[in-house]
């Protein structure tokens, strides 16, 4: 497990966290893309690649939450 610091509010490790808070990331999460550093367009592309339908009107936090939920669900 590694310690990750939240850059944008959203769901991390099953909890809603604010920027600056940290959480324990599983090894598989630590090896994955840092979604918080991607642009909104990159996040939409990543969601599309994973087969997750997101609206261009969604916020970055909503898109990240959908990717995380879809990836682990």
Write a three-state SS string for 31-54: HCCCHHHCCHHHHHHHHHHCCCCC
Q: Where are the domains of the chain?
A: 2-72
- Tokens 């939240």 sit at which residue? 6
Condensed to tens digits (0 to 9), the pLDDT of residues 29-43 reads: 433 568 888 899 989
Which helix or strand (DSSP H or E) is residue 68 part of? helix 60-72
Contacts of 71 (CB under 8 A, 6+ apart): 32, 50
Top mean pLDDT of 1-5, 11-15, 58-62 is at: 58-62
Whole-prediction pTM value?
0.54
- Alpha-carbon radius of gyration of the chain: 12
Task: Determine the pLDDT at residue 59.
Answer: 94
């Amino acid at each position: 497990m590694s310690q990750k610091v939240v850059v944008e509010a959203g769901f991390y490790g099953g909890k809603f966290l604010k920027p600056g808070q940290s959480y324990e990331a599983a090894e598989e999460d630590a090896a994955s893309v840092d979604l918080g550093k991607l642009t909104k367009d990159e996040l939409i592309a990543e969601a599309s690649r994973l087969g997750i339908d997101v609206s261009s009107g969604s916020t970055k936090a909503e898109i990240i939450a959908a990717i995380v939920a879809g990836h682990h669900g």
